[in-house]
Amino acid sequence: MTDNSLPATKMSARDVHVYYGATHAIKGVSIDVDQENVTAFIGPSGCGKSTFLRTLNRMNDTIPIARVEGDITLDGENIYSPAMDVVQLRARVGMVFQKPNPFPKSIYENVAYGPRIHGLAPVKSDMDRVVEQSLRRAGLWEEVKDRLHDSGTALSGGQQQRLCIARAIAVDPEVILMDEPCSALDPIATAKIEELIHELRGRYAIVIVTHNMQQAARVSQRTAFFHLGHLVEYGVTSDIFTNPRQERTKDYITGRYG
């Protein structure tokens, strides 16, 4: 593949609308998320970043009043078609949440849970390998290898969030969605997560929601700016930050509102 060819599209949304009862939260968003890059969703709070992110692995299904219209595909397959199994979809499109939410179980169990329910590592030695590999990729192995059987909730906030990333990685997803993964963390823990995102780039398609524009500039190659439920502008991150085409994007980036 040459440099000037378009990167392979992993997920693609066409004219997506999301309603919470009568609230129209996402208004006709179309976007392509590609395989090699980290895509950042930015925008003022309440503009629908989380809502749109959650349509990508159908986490909105758990909200009774939420209704999704439009087409979203993963590798060309419509994820809202009846043929799509939502459980498998969520294994293929993993998620990391705003607040670290490890299970109140051991570190090992946190990571092993996903592979176990999907039958990915039936033998104990396989499972040990999966756990170690996932923790290594999440940059947590060295810190926890001697206390794998301590509770995951006893870790620091930043470690907990990396444990949640390891948990997502353990089921071997194709896409990882992160919803403001650093908003509950201190700057040092944030830096570690950002570094980790760099390392994971390429292996997984990554979509990260952030309200921190510097963070978007640091970790992403593509940026989408949302405002009041609309996708205002989407493009290469450096272009968005240095040369926005839309007035609203410019206003947001220059801090006129937020």
Partner 1 sequence: MSSTLVPEVPVTNGREPAERAPTDWKTHAMQSRIRKRYAAERRFRLLGLGAVALSAAFLVFLLGTMLINGAGGFVRTEIALPLDFPALSLDVEREQLAQRGADLALAGAGLQNAVGVAAVSAFGDEGEDYLADNAWLTVREAIKDDPSILDRRVTIAVPASSRIHLAATDDAEPAIEAAAARLNAAGALTRGFNWSFLTGSDSTDPTSAGIWGALKGSLLTMAVTLALAFPIGVLSAIYLEEYAPKNRWTDLIEVSINNLAAVPSIIFGLLGLAVFLGTFNMPRSAPIVGGLTLALMIMPVIVIAGRNAIKAVPPSIRDAALGVGASRVQVVFHHVLPLALPGILTGTIIGMARALGETAPLLMIGMRAFIGSAPEDLASPATVLPVQIFLWSDQVSSGFVEKTSAAIIVLLVFLLAMNALAIYLRNRFETRW
Ligand X SMILES: Nc1ncnc2c1ncn2[C@@H]1O[C@H](COP(=O)(O)OP(=O)(O)O)[C@@H](O)[C@H]1O
- Return the residue of 99, 147, 149, 198 that touches partner 1, per CB under 8 A: 99
Cβ closer to partner 1: 200 or 253? 200
- Does position 208 interact with ligand X (CB under 6 A)? The reply is no
- Return the residue of 16, 25, 189, 196 that touches ligand X, per CB under 6 A: 25
Cβ closer to ligand X: 26 or 175? 26
- Does position 20 interact with ligand X (CB under 6 A)? The reply is yes
- Return the residue of 21, 46, 104, 258 that touches partner 1, per CB under 8 A: 104
- Does position 51 interact with ligand X (CB under 6 A)? The reply is yes
Cβ closer to partner 1: 66 or 232? 66
3-state helix/strand/coil string of the chain: CCCCCCCCEEEEEEEEEEEECCEEEEEEEEEEEECCCEEEEECCCCCCHHHHHHHCCCHHHHCCCEEEEEEEEECCEECCCCCCCHHHHHHHEEEECCCCCCCCCEHHHHHHHHHHHCCCCCCHHHHHHHHHHHHHHCCCHHHHHHHCCCEHHHCCHHHHHHHHHHHHHHCCCCEEEEECCCCCCCHHHHHHHHHHHHHHECCEEEEEECCCHHHHHHHCCEEEEEECCEEEEEEEHHHHHHCCCCHHHHHHHCCCCC
Q: Which stretch binds Mg ion (CB under 5 A): 50-58, 168-176, 193-201, 238-246?
A: 50-58
Q: Which residue's C-beta sits nearest to Mg ion?
A: 50
- Does position 153 interact with partner 1 (CB under 8 A)? The reply is yes
- Does position 49 interact with ligand X (CB under 6 A)? The reply is yes
Q: Which stretch binds Mg ion (CB under 5 A): 47-55, 123-131, 135-143, 192-200?
A: 47-55
Asked if 5 contacts 68 with a C-beta cutoff of 8 angstroms, the reply is no
- From the list ligand X, partner 1, Mg ion, none, pick the one residue 63 interacts with, judged by a Cβ distance below 5 to 8 Å according to partner type: ligand X
Least spacing, CB of residue 217 vs partner 1, in Å: 27
